[in-house]
Amino acid sequence: MDSKKIYPRTGDKETVYLKSTITRTNIIVGDFTMYNDFVNDPTEFEKNNVIYHYPINNDKLIIGKYCSIACGAKFMFTSGNHNMTSISTYPFPIFYEEWELSVSNITDAWDNNGDIVIGNDVWIGYEAVIMQGVRIGDGAIIGTRAVVTRDVPPYTIVGGIPAKEIRKRFSEEVAVKLIKLQWWNWDDKTIQKNLTNIIRGNVNLLEKI
């Protein structure tokens, strides 16, 4: 296993280990998280999929380990907002030269909702949109073209516009066990040794490790 490679599958240039393609310090991605793109170059994820993510805001995109991100998923950041408390939603501070405003107040043009934080083992579906400030728990599933405007609890499936809970993936008892196990933090050899139980959902056997 080598999480530092870019292309994990021989002959497949549409799927990448995302961490190996990231250059921005304000994007943090965990080991083995993969991104597939059959439309654009998947190595340009941070250019094409992380939207309005300007350094001036100091907000971050944090994605955990073993996540699966489908083609066209977007992460929409603060600078795509407009100020909702202002009398006008027009972004006057952006055009500080035109209106003789201070450049230091440019961030007054939008509301700042903070970081986007994605847990571990999260599956984000085709062309889903994750809005600024959202936190998605471990093991969650985001449906195709969902627009996620609120936090998503662990091991919860959501879909729609705006995204709403469809159902839980597991019982609360099983979800608690999985969160406690945190198998994604095991070393590669331990995960490989227990892949059969992980793939088949044998939670009780994993608990014995």
Q: Which two tokens stand for residue 7?
A: 């292309």
- DSSP 3-state assignment of 32? coil
pLDDT, tens digit only, all 209 positions of the chain: 777 889 999 999 999 999 999 999 999 999 999 999 999 999 999 999 999 998 888 899 999 999 999 999 999 998 888 888 888 889 888 888 898 888 878 888 777 888 999 999 999 999 999 999 999 999 999 999 999 999 999 999 999 999 999 999 999 999 999 999 999 999 999 999 999 999 998 888 886 66
Predicted local distance difference test score (pLDDT) of residue 99: 86
Question: Of 60, 74, 82, 169, which one is the catalytic site residue?
Answer: 82
Residue 142: predicted pLDDT: 98
- 82 is known as an active-site residue: yes
For the stretch 20-32, pLDDT in tens is 999 999 999 999 9
pLDDT of residue 206: 82
pLDDT, tens digit, 9 for 90 and up, residues 65-113: 999 999 999 999 988 888 888 888 898 888 888 988 888 788 887 778 8
DSSP readout, 122-167?
A: -EE-TT-EEETT-EE-TT-EE-TT-EE-S-B-TTEEEETTTTEEEE
User: Do 162 and 174 contact (CB within 8 A), yes or no?
Assistant: no
Q: How many helices (H) and strands (E) does the chain have?
A: 6, 15
Which domains, ranges and CATH numbers included, belong to the chain? 15-169 (2.160.10.10), 171-209 (no CATH)
